[in-house]
Structures are given as C-alpha cells and as structure tokens.
Chains A and B, each alone.
Chain A
Amino acid sequence: MNIPATPRLQQAMIGYERELKEINKVIEGPKTAAPPHIAIIAEPLKGRTTIVDEISRVHGDRVYRITLDRVMTATSMPDLSPGRDRIILIDNCEFLATRKIGGFDLLNHFLKTQVGSKNLFITTWNSFAWQYLDQVMNLGKNYPVQITLPRMDTPVIKEVILSRYGQGEIQCVDEGRTERSHWYSIVHHETTLPFIGKEVTVPWITLNFSVMRSRLPGENRVQVSLEDVIFEKINRIADGNPGIALDLFQDSLEDHTISPRMIRENDCSLSLDINESFLLSLILSMNCLQSSEISAMVGRDVDIDRIIYRLLHAGIITEEEAHYRISPSYLTCVAEYLKRNRRVW
C-alpha cells in the first residue's frame, strides 16, 4: 500500500498555524514604549526552532537571531543591542540559567536588559525549564505573551511526517499481523477558561465508529486504514510530540517500508535513584548538557560518570559530540516518570 504524497508547501508549519498567526499579530501590532515580549514554550523536539525559522524567514532583516547551544556564561553571552526597531529572536533561552548557587545571575541580567530595551524580544524556552524558573523567580511576569505549543493530534502528525516524503516513497505493509486500531482516539481541544481567560488544552475522546463496527460479529469486511493504524500507534507513543513521532517513524522504516509491528515501543517501567532522576531532570530541562555542565549543577559529591554510563547503557540518554540528551524514544517515559515523582513540576 503506497502512501499518497502531501504538498511540500509550508510543510514545517503544519499544526502551528494558529501560534504563528498570534506571534505575527504581536510583531505587526502598534509600537509601544514597553514591547510585549513573547515566550514560546514547548517540550523538547516539539518544534520551537521550526517556529523560530519561520519567523526569521517571514520578517527577514528585522530579525536579529541568536541561537544558544550551550550553557551561557557572562563572557560567552552574545551582544543584545543590535540597534533600534529590531526583533531579537533568541532560541533555547533555558541556557541562560543553571540550577546552582549563582546560576540565576545571567538570567537576571538578561531580563534587566530585556526590560530596558525598546526592541521586541521573542524567546523560546524548554517547558520544563520554564516551569522551574517561573516558580522560582516568576519568569512569566517578564513575558506578556506566552505561547505554549500544543500537542498534535494524529491527523496533523501524519501530515507533518508524510510531508517529508514524495509520492509513493513510503509503503505500508500489513505482514498479515496488523494490530487493530483502537475504537477511540484522544484529541486535544483548546478552550479558554472563564473569568481568567487562560487557554488550556482539554483531552477529549472521539469514537472511531469504523473500528467499532469492524469488531461487531458479521462485520469483518469493514476495513480500517493501515496508515491510520500506523500513525495512531506512533502518536500514542509520541504523546502528540511531532519530533518524537518523526524520530520514531524514521527508526521504524526499513527500505522505505513500515508496518505496525515495526514500530517499537520502549518499556517505560523506569526505576531511578535520586541522583539519576536529578541528572535526567537537568538534561530534560536543558535539552542537552555537557559532562562539565552537569557536574557543576549536580555537585562534586556525586559520581556523574557512573550515572551517565548507566543511563547511556540503558539507552535512556544519548551522546553526541560530548553532549548528552534524552533519547527521543525515552522522552515521554522520562518526562512522565519525573512528573509522577515530582522531580519536574
């Protein structure tokens, strides 16, 4: 079964049109003495950088873009005064603070610079780091516009993934052992809370009648799309995160062929001690960290080499150019585990 192609036009933006529209509205709004600085908040791999790329593309020369790729220090901090009437776009702002004594000085300095600037700041934040910094130092009060990237539902995830491939490039196979689709799907509706006006995402169940019918006796001929079964499974594992879904899809492909059975699901029964949990919470909040950066936050009394070895061996983290990050296939498990045990809030 060949998967039909999706037009490549605007492929990266699928699913975040509403957020982009909101950002553009702020950018094109009236100039004020106190620009409404924007914080774009999302979990790792959810597409912050994709949005930043699109803002850069649309607003061209007005944008002064800085991408932070490691923990910042006073000496490595880039210049934040590019001139007047600019949009200062800073990706990965979680690197401005570290979880140690004296680790908030640079962020405080940055926020002071931002408050005193007439330029509009658009910043992106890892949602776990944002949550921590918001609780500890009221970070949210510095950003009148906060945009949290929502979970994506299966049809959007499917569109995002397939837009990267040509027509007939990917083939779905049943192998005679097709897993059955669920009779329900979880979708996420955005709704505004009364009185406080805050937008929240509410999970909602929709019934898949075709699947339900197929399970009735004498209704065996009702066909459930194999594609839908595959993408439902991918999105269930990815929990609406397009980055994880894409990674899982690519990992499951063999010779441009995919079947439900080829989509591997990790065992999420993690058992971590306090130091392992803390180290993982740091990596999760910062996207990626070097050994020396972890050591500075965890402290000298913890043997981080042994912890890193164990986490690498278990496949929970990966190493790339001396940077450690949570393996995409474990991202949902780790976040869920750390939330359940209140290591991240």
Chain B
Amino acid sequence: MADSLLPDIAGDLQLTAIDLNLVLYIVGIIVIAYLLVYVLSHILVLISERVGHHRTSIAMIIPLLKILIYAFAIYYIVAAILQPSFSQMIAFAGLFGAAVGIGLKDIFLEIVGGLVIILEKPYQIGDMVTLGNSYGEVKDIGLRSTKLRTPADELVSVPNDTIFNQPVNSGNAGDIPMMILIDLFIHAESDASLAAQILREALVTSKYVIVSQKYPYTVLIENFPFYTRVRAKGYVYDLRLEFEFKSEVTRRTLAEFRRLGIESPVCFPFPEGIAN
C-alpha cells in the first residue's frame, strides 16, 4: 500500500500559474466561506434563542459548522493552487500539520483545544463557565479561542488550550437552568428556623426559579461562633438571570427578616468565608 502511494506522492505537483483569476478565485472562496459562517451562525443564534430550553444544543452546531466550512475553503484553495492528487493532499495535510506543530506550536495547540472542546464538550455555547481567571457566559467557541461575556458585560477571549492546563468550571453543563447558591447571615441569637423558612419561601416563589425532581432546592443552616449562615441552593430557569435571581431572593428575604425582627450579625464573615 505504502509502496503504491509513494510514486504518486513523489510525482510532480502541478503548480498553477498565479494570475489575477486565481487570486480572485481564492479571495472569492475566503469571502464566501466568511459570509457563510457569518450568515449561518446568525441564523443558528436566532433559532437557538427562539427554542427555549434547547438553546445550547442548537448553538453548539456553530463551531462545528465553522470548522467544516473553513476546512472546505482551505481544501479548495490548496486544490486550486497545487492541483494535488488525493495522496498528495494527504501528504500535504501531514506536512502542514507538522510544520504548524513546530513553527506555530501555540496556535496549533489552541486549535487542537478548540477541536477537543467541540468533541468532548467540557462546556458549550451558552454555559456559564470559569476559564482561567475569567467567569462568564460562553458566547462563541472559535478555532483558536473561546469568547466569554462577563457579568460586567465585557467580552473576554480565552485561548482554547486553557482546558489542557487549568480546571474548567461549568455551572450548568450544557443545560439552561443553573444552580445558584445564596448565603445570608443572621445574628447567632436570631430564630434560624424561621429565617430558613423565609429564605425557602422566597426561593420557591421567585419569578426566576425552577423546581422539579431534576432541579431540586434545599435550605441549610450552619452555626458559626458569631453568626448563623442560612444557605439556599436552587435553580434559576435561565442562567442569564443568575444575578437577578440572587438579588431578588436576597432582597425579599432581607425585607421579611427586617419585618419579623431577625437581626443581622454583629460580626460579618470575610468574603473568603462566604465562598466556602
């Protein structure tokens, strides 16, 4: 098999004379590929926004589509310039990969990272993730980087190879609802059971909550030396409303605490303590 391929690979490559037509052809392919990616991505984003809780499944077609379109574009450009045979094309792909691997190691690693993200799905478009030092909603998974929209509405590009050397935290793992943790602290002498009941009712009556067997909720009490922590875990029906959900439940609970005389602690925990 290898013997039969060798003469074919070793055969002369027919390099097409580069003229204006060829340049226009290549530019045309690039423009068409770009426009196709742009239009199809926008259509898929529009569709995904309309289908409710299947949003992420549709959005995940976008990166795959990008890779396919750009791969076809590269194939047509190479074929137009070199007119290689099938064996030459495979050999060229191997050599190109090796050259890229040696010379552009970082970019190559990022592209491989992109492929791993698409195939293994450690996170998906629409997920709320922590990548490196950034937290936000995944807006796009490109060949080289992943774009996150942070809670401060900043667009952050994180290289795809981050998944190889840093942990990835996904708050919802491809689903639209996301578990939210709400911590409130009350005075050690206050009625913790009443506080827990109020927090529970504030949680389940929130306009942002979803409760089911798949999305359960719980309220926990933990006593500390100078205060009592009341913690609620529940799901927001759309991860984009994470902060609104937290804020609404906290605001209504605190108002009820005040009304019923449940006091705030004198000593507050450090922020690190809140995160634990």
Contact = CB atoms under 8 A, between A and B. Distances in A.
Interface in B40-80: 51-53
Interface residues of A, number: 20
A342 B53 contact: yes
A99 B176 contact: no
Interface in A96-116: 99-104
A184 interface: no
30 contacts: A100-B201, A100-B205, A101-B198, A101-B201, A101-B202, A101-B252, A101-B256, A102-B201, A103-B201, A103-B205, A104-B201, A132-B211, A135-B212, A136-B211, A274-B208, A274-B241, A274-B244, A275-B207, A278-B207, A299-B252, A340-B51, A340-B53, A341-B237, A342-B52, A342-B176, A342-B237, A342-B238, A343-B237, A345-B211, A345-B212
Which 6 A-B pairs give the minimum distances between C-beta atoms?
A340-B52, A278-B207, A342-B237, A135-B211, A101-B201, A99-B205
Contacts, number: 46
Interface in A327-345: 340-343, 345
A281 to B, nearest CB: 8
B156 interface: no
Given A101-B202, A345-B212, 18 more contacts: A101-B205, A101-B253, A102-B201, A103-B205, A135-B211, A135-B213, A136-B211, A274-B207, A274-B208, A278-B207, A299-B252, A340-B52, A341-B53, A342-B53, A342-B238, A343-B237, A345-B210, A345-B211
Of the candidates B207, B210, B237, B238, the one having the most CB atoms from chain A within 10 angstroms of its own CB is B207
Contacts of B84: none
Contacts of A104: 201
B173 interface: no
Nearest to B253: A101
Contacts of B211: 132, 135-136, 345
Contacts of A343: 237
Interface of A: 99-104, 132, 135-136, 274-275, 278, 297-299, 340-343, 345
Interface of B: 51-53, 176-177, 198, 201-202, 204-205, 207-208, 210-213, 237-238, 241, 244, 252-253, 256
A191 to B, nearest CB: 22
A267 to B, nearest CB: 15
Contacts of A135: 211-213
Nearest to A299: B252
Contacts of A274: 207-208, 241, 244
B58 to A, nearest CB: 14
A99 B252 CA distance: 13
B135 to A, nearest CB: 23
A46 to B, nearest CB: 23
A100 B213 CA distance: 21
A289 B208 CA distance: 21
Contacts of B252: 101, 299
B210 to A, nearest CB: 5
B50 to A, nearest CB: 9
Contacts of A102: 201
B76 to A, nearest CB: 40
Contacts of B237: 341-343
B124 to A, nearest CB: 18
